[in-house]
Structure 1
Amino acid sequence: MTVVGASLAGLYAARELRAQGFDGRLVLVGDERHRPYDRPPLSKDFLAGRADEAQLALTDAEESTELDAEWHLGVRARGLDARGRTVLLDDGRTISTDGVVIATGACARRLAGDDLAGVHTLRTLDDARALRAELTRGPRRIVVIGGGFIGAETASSCAALGHDVTVVEAAALPLVPQLGPRMAAVCAALHRRGGVALVTGTGVAGLRGSGGGGTSPPAVTGVRLSDGRVLDADVVIVGIGATPNTGWLAGSLALHDGVLCDDGCATALPQVVAVGDVARVGGTRAEHWTSATEQPRIAVRNLLAGRTVATGRSLPYFWSDQYGARIQFAGRRHESDTVRIVEGGIEGGIEEAGPAEGGLLALYERDGRTTAVLSVDRPRPFTRVRRELARSDMPVAPTARL
């Protein structure tokens, strides 16, 4: 069996193959030269200097021995044959295999002009190393483009290190698709509390740079917004989402913003499954840690069976650490849902109201049922509601609405 992608989802798939009884040749292919590591801390503890690379590692020598796998690291897959029985590598090698787990993840979206010195993305360990080195050069003027989870967490870490930080978000508020406008506004206040400027409702028209010469590229000096303003910047961090790594599969599989799979992670090719950020399972592609760790169990079962014998649809869940607060969300929110705060509350003016001291717990509700839950620093009640949501829908007691 061959697992293409040696990050979180790929590692979990390899573990499942052994746990479910596969004792044959196991090959892992990874385009990074690093053994599997945990990505969530890259924008938080690692960037802030509170964690080192050893603490990011997801495997140790003992587990590597138990997996008994061949590792091909620092090499990309460039093709999969039409029957799914041969993986082609960039270095010219081919791997013959009885089955394939596609776990190639996603890569950071790029911005025109991001080849200027001082412009960074944050997706890989090498990205985080480069950005952390930049942040140690003294106080910097930092512009973060994109107010999603990566952007917000990176802005939080930069502010904690004493830098002057501005977040630019094209939407009216960060995190509206995930949280809805009311709760997005509450969480947006965390930026202001953390001393970070938040610019919303305008996109980026381009980057400005100067200097350079010879082999040195020009350095970024500013961000030009679509409304004509220019933000001075020594460092620009681009956090505008990710694109699934499917280019190597063109002509082999059905692709549409990911690898198209059924509810059991199985593709149209026999003996080929997909998991993690690259997989569109049952019509949905989820870029969350929980999907990468839960999907491999079902995918491997179906891979070993040679057909879809098991399906699964776990409750969506994500978390984010920003400005000393932990945001947790679980469930499936719809635009028509109403929101009710059942613990804690909000404080501040209408335009800048944020979570009250001690946080809050909010329920999203529709047709008398709870559909999702949001917590800011209320982990215990959040866990309880999340478990109840996973079991079944919850009845709602009548109360005033927000």
Structure 2
Amino acid sequence: MDISIQKSKLLNHQSIQITGSKSESNRLLLLKALYPQINIENLSNSDDSVLMQKALQSDDKVVDIHHAGTAMRFLTAYFSIQEGREVILTGSSRMKERPIRILVDALKSLGADISYVENEGFPPLRICGKKLTEHKTFLEANVSSQYISALLLIASSLENGLELSLKGKITSVPYINMTLSLLDELEIKTEFNDNVIKVKPKTSELKPKTLVVESDWSSASYFYSVVALSEVGSKLELASYKENSLQGDSVLAEVYKDFGVETHFKGNSVTLTKSSDVKEQTSIDLDLSNAPDIAQTISVTAFGLGIESNLVGLHTLKIKETDRLVALKAELEKLGAEISITDASLHLKPSKTIISNASIATYNDHRMAMAFAPLGLKTAIHIQNADVVSKSYPQFWEDFKAIGFNLK
């Protein structure tokens, strides 16, 4: 399905209920599989979380998680401790190009029985579940935090717990802290000192507990972009959000001040207000190493506002659903932007005009479709394979239509 967005205008004072965080949901689904006493509310309805839930409930020998990268990392760890069960864990053609060796090596050092079915270092994997008695391992600290979280999520089920040493500068610390905070809520004892994380084994039975998933801040980013690209005085309400969020992407509230957007928390909702026209703002410099998933949204917002942007800390974007840096460069250039990229940065010099009716490729990447959609406030734009949004936000286009976007 392709979607054309005609030049639109935000309908003021609309309210949007956004699905639960994919990141929190997938962590809690794995923990629930280990500790059935957990009850989860406001679970994400994203494809990734549906696939994660289905995989955890499956008795099949072959488990296919399609494009779901988080599920691949988390399930690799989970199936490695399912004693007596053999699983082939596989995914889409793109998933078979995404590296997994770092996690596999760490699990093997703990005693896991994992082998590669096709290409060394990449899915699919043959995993023979067994009891893991070793408790010390290490990872390079600048890798995807999902490798780290995958180990932490199973750590309390290991006979001797886990001591994980991280080498170098740590990437995406908020996502690691999210995992540790969820473990703490389950009264699993953790320590994070310097570059060493320790998780104690869970020896007492978990009491029944209900955990409510906060709505997804990554999904909120597209509405921040909408308000930023709207007229001064425009407002939009989003639910359900916490001021003290576990999610690293909650940094949006601070980042978008530079784009003239103010965030006001009240109860479980936030109101976004376009408070200034940012004519004085000529450039923005950001290190997004702790929140790389919002890089696409920020790049498009800056382009739409005619603001130069220098974004660094983006090295993990190359191993996502697509190489997001290459994809951003290709698609923003269609609109008239001047872009240069490295392996870890993006530098954008916007043009004075935006080319109309550009057809944006999405590369099987949900964030490409959603990040470019707000530009419909500035010009007519065409989004290819628009239904890719179901990976994280199935009702995205319905919500966009509800706030005033003219979609065909």
TM-score band, normalised by the shorter chain? under 0.3
The structure that has the greater radius of gyration is 1
Question: More strand per residue: 1 or 2?
Answer: 1
Question: More helix per residue: 1 or 2?
Answer: 2
TM-score, with structure 1 as normaliser:
0.25
